Structure 1
Amino acid sequence: MSKKYTLQQTPFIVPTNDGKHIAEHFGLATDGNGNLSIAHMIAPPGWSEPFQTPEFDEYTLVVRGRKQFIIDDEKIVLKAGESIKVSKHTRIQYSNPFNEECEYVAICLPAFSITKVHRES
């Protein structure tokens, strides 16, 4: 009989060099699932990523703090309790220009892949 659930108690901690904490609970790095990834993130104050145009939809739910999105020259700031879906093939920049940590959950469909994020240099 197959197990009816998968309990994740040891997410994969993604190595970073920008101070951001990424714990992937399900996805390519954790369980090889290419269909979906779920990660718990903590972005330090002043953190930002380059613009990117991913090949996946990304859903973000802010748990604590604020997170800034720049989409097609529009600046959007989410605060705790708010969420957003950014469709694949959308040019976007994620950042936390604020003086507090931002804790959030990111869900990517299909799963996040460094080869499919297309970050600008």
Structure 2
Amino acid sequence: MSKYFIQKNPFVVPTTDGKLIEEHHGKAATANNDISIAHMVAPPHWSEPFQTPEFDEYTYIISGKKQFIIEEETVILEAGQSIKIEKNTRVQYSNPFDDPCEYIAICQPAFDFTKVHREAE
């Protein structure tokens, strides 16, 4: 029995907003409920509705910029920066800029659409 697993075929989450989501580890990719790790690319001028997830979310920016509205505060991260947003925090993720934003997202416990609590747009 191997003590490691190399993910070569991440689960590509179907989207309708142009965002690329490749889950390498997590509920969909590896049936791991404890943590999810995803590679993402948010296209220019992309945004999601506000949400209040039941999991901590860490984001590391590889390239571009990403905007976070956390409760009432607007935070902009650039390449090389990271953030942790505590579970049960109201947040909106967006890329209002002219270039794509490539980043890694880690959720603990794993991302679960039934626990993200997105608001109606």
TM-score bracket for this pair, using the shorter chain length: over 0.9
Which amino acid counterpart does residue 104 of structure 1 have in structure 2? Y
Which amino acid counterpart does residue 118 of structure 1 have in structure 2? H
- Structure 1, residues 18-73: CA drift from partner, whole Å, max 9, x if none? 00000000000011100000000000000000000000000000000000000111
Give the drift of 1:4.
1.1
Which amino acid counterpart does residue 7 of structure 1 have in structure 2? I
Which amino acid counterpart does residue 71 of structure 2 have in structure 1? D
Which amino acid counterpart does residue 32 of structure 1 have in structure 2? A
TM-score, normalised with respect to structure 2: 0.98
Q: Percent identity?
A: 63
State the secondary structure of the residue aligned to 1:88. coil
Which residue of the partner structure matches residue 62 of structure 1?
Answer: 61
**Unmatched runs of 5 consecutive residues or more in structure 1:** none
Which amino acid counterpart does residue 120 of structure 1 have in structure 2? E
- Across the aligned residues of Structure 1 and Structure 2, the Cα RMSD in angstroms comes to 0.4
State the secondary structure of the residue aligned to 1:120. coil
Which residue of the partner structure matches residue 25 of structure 1?
Answer: 24
Between the aligned partners of 2:117 and 2:31, the Cα distance in structure 1 is 20
Between the aligned partners of 1:34 and 1:72, the Cα distance in structure 2 is 26
Which residue of the partner structure matches residue 48 of structure 1?
Answer: 47
Which residue of the partner structure matches residue 38 of structure 2?
Answer: 39
